Amino acid sequence: MFSIIQAAGWPIWPLVACSILALALVIERFISLKTSKIAPPQLLEEVLSVCRTSVPAPDVVSQLEKNSALGEVLASGFRALNNSPRCSEDDLRSSMEGAGRVVAHRLERYLSALATIASAAPLMGLFGTVVGMIEIFGAQTPAGGATGGNPAQLAHGISVALYNTAFGLIVAIPSLIFWRYFRARVDEYLLTLELASERLVRHLNALRK
């Protein structure tokens, strides 16, 4: 592997750095976007059963907030009612929407960086290709001279061009795939949070009547 990097020349080092960064981001997103941390399947039903007759106490709300991202959004609705029992439905929704925006920002963290790597890696590979082509032309003899040039410099220029092109695609393709995967996963989580919030709002309004 190291011999390939050496053959690819100095333009490949930024691509190596991008590949390490992309791998770290993918691992971090896999850990952070676990279902148990974002939207546990039975959490909403448990919350609705707990608040069937009354709004939970502040200590219960605090525990719910620490449970998951969904718990954080649901807890914001309970906290709004605990602070102002006669708050309007619009105020209740506004409180939960604010918490939802904070959660959405956290779920989307690092996705833009992964998308940037997916977009920039082919261009960085192209840059390495251009550098290799410059070395290839530099290996040729001036016009009017004998043909052939420097074979070692010619071979090095070709290896720089080809290795950088290939490595740029190797970095970009998985980065793009994982970015699309995480983007779809975040969108699914946000829909789940939105539907759960709407259901809790309707339940709380019915509870106050």
Domain boundaries, the chain: 2-208
Which range has the top average pLDDT, 121-130, 136-145, 156-165? Answer: 121-130
Annotate 1-27 with three-state secondary structure: CHHHHHHHCCCHHHHHHHHHHHHHHHH
Q: Which residues contact 197 (CB under 8 A, 6 or more apart)?
A: 73, 74, 77, 93, 96, 97, 100
The helix, strand and coil proportions of the chain, stated in percent and rounded to the nearest 5, come to 80, 0, 20
0.75 surpassed by pTM = yes
**Greater pLDDT, 205 or 25:** 25
| Contact criterion met (CB below 8 Å) for 21 and 174 | no
Torsion sign, CA atoms 27, 28, 29, 32:
positive
Q: What was the pLDDT predicted at 91?
A: 87
